[in-house]
Every structure is written in structure tokens, then in C-alpha cells.
Structure 1
Amino acid sequence: MSDPAPTRLGESLKGLADSGLATLQTRLELFSVEIKEEKLRAGGFLFDTVLAALFIGFGVIFLMAFLTVLFWDSHRLLALGLGTTGLFIAGVWAATRAAGRLRSGSRLFASSLAEIAQDREALRPRE
């Protein structure tokens, strides 16, 4: 006579455990997708940055050589001094911008953390 109640209780517990594990699996899959997206974004950013730095660096070198040759007879020291000053200012600007990007942090796991917060809020007892 007492067999049906434990069976229903056992099935309910199994269903609850299954739901919990399904939710956990979904959250872990979301973490995995976010890690892959972040890796792709970082790799693309690094590639573009290195390529841009290479081309801009060569461009600046050729521009400085051109200006130095152009002003060789009259103002070669002025041309070299202005070019050097401009490059130092650009370097300080780039370093400041890079430091700002580092300080701003990453959005890694933002979606997952928001979903987990929603899950916790949904499971809190209502008063």
C-alpha cells in the first residue's frame, strides 16, 4: 500500500535532478560558446593590430625619410625634430589608449552570469 507514494516521490526527485542537470549543461555550453567567441575576437584583434602597426610603421619611416630629404638643404634639423616629436606624441597616445583598453576589462561571461542571476532570482522563495 505504501509503494505508490515512494515511487512518485522518487520520480519527482529524478525529474528535479534531470531538470537541474539540464540547466547546468545549458549554462556550461553557454560558457563554452562565450570562450570560443572571445578567443576569435581576441585573435582577430591581435592580427589586425599587428598588421596595422606594421603598415603604419613602414609608412611613418618612409614619410620621415621623404621629409628629411625634401628639407635637406634648408631645414633638415627642423624636419627631423618635428618628425621625432610627432612620433613620440603618437607613441604616448597609443600607449594611453592601450592602457585604457586594459582597464576597461572584458565582457567575458557577461551573458552567462546574467542567465545564472536570472535563474537564482527565479528559484528564490517568494514572500
Structure 2
Amino acid sequence: MSSPATDDGAGSGLKPALQRLGGHLLVLLQLRLELLGTELEAEKLRLVSALVTALLAVMLVMAAVVMLSLALLLLSPEGWRWAVALGLCLVYAGLGYAMLGRARDRLQSPDGVFAASAAELARDRDALGSSSS
């Protein structure tokens, strides 16, 4: 003998439909959270990579700057050494400022940090909006 709940069809009715909808929403939420986690990990790796590269570049540039400055100061005449040192300082300060601007531009993402998550959520919203109409 079967129970009345199984006789009227397990797939029809409001309660099973709501349970399926809830299950689908939970799966969708889980996927979005996994995407968010993946984006956070990718952003962290990008930042660490940029930082390590920047530090290595700074070390190499500093060694080159010191050597170039010493060579230019030794090659300049005795009376011009202070002027050459001041000129080098101004050139290096200008280059440093330009490099800081480039580093800031490279770290800024044009679409934002969570561009893929925002796009997926917008697609979900559009899909839910069109299905309810």
C-alpha cells in the first residue's frame, strides 16, 4: 500500500517545485561563491607577482643608477661636479615619479576587481527577470 503523498506525483505540486527552486538557487549561489573565491585568488597572485617584479626592478635600477652616477661624476670636470650631481638628482626624481604613475596604472584593473562575478550576477538577474515575465 502506498502513501497518498506518493500517489499524487512526487514531481508536481507547489512544495516540490519550491524545493527544486531552492536547490537550484543554492547551487547557483555556490557556483557564484566559488567564482568569487577564484577571482580573489587570481587577484592575490597578480598583486604578489607585480610586487615581486617591482622589487626586483627597483634593486636592479638602483644598482644601475649608482654606477651611472659615479661614472658621470668621475667623467665630469672638477668645477662641474656639483651641477652634474644636481642634474642627475632631478632626472632621477622625474623618472621615479613617472615610474610610480606607471605602477599605479598597472595595478588598477579597468573592469574592477570582481568583473566576472558582476557579469555572471547580471546574467542571473536577467535570466530570472525574463523567466518571471
TM-score when normalising by structure 1: 0.83
Q: 1:37/1:19 Cα in 2 relative to 1: closer, same or farther (>3 Å)? A: same
Alignment of 1:37-52 (within 5 A): 37-52=42-57
- Structure 1 pair 68–123 and aligned structure 2 pair: CA distance change class (3 A): same
Q: Is 1:89 matched with 2:94? A: yes
Aligned equivalent of 1:33: 38
Match of 1:60? 65
Measured in 2, the distance between the counterparts of 1:106 and 1:72 equals 53
In structure 2, the partner of 1:73 is: 78
C-alpha displacement of 1:89: 1.3
**1:40-84 per-position Cα deviation (integer Å, ceiling 9, x unaligned):** 000000000011011101110111011101114353123212211
Q: Secondary structure at the match of 1:124?
A: helix
Distance 2:24 2:119 in 1: 19
The separation in 1 between residues aligned to 2:29 and 2:108, in whole angstroms, is 31
Percent sequence identity over aligned pairs:
30
Moved more, 83-92 or 33-42: 83-92
Runs of 4+ in 1 over 6 A off after TM superposition: 102-106
Mapped contact 2:47–2:107 kept (Cα < 8 A): no
State how far apart, in whole Å, the 1-side matches of 2:111 and 2:44 are. Answer: 12
**2:117 equivalent in structure 1:** 112
Matched with 2:12 is 8
Equivalent position amino acid for 1:90 in 2: L
CA offset digits 1:93-127 (Å, max 9, x no partner): 23344455577677311101110011001111565
TM-score by length of 2: 0.79
Please give the alpha-carbon distance, in whole angstroms, between the structure 2 residues aligned to 1:12 and 1:43.
47
Unpaired segments of 5 or more residues in structure 1?
Answer: none
What is the RMSD computed on CA atoms of the aligned residues? 2.7
Point out where structure 2 has 5 or more consecutive residues left out of the alignment. none
Code of the residue aligned with 1:67 in structure 2: it is L
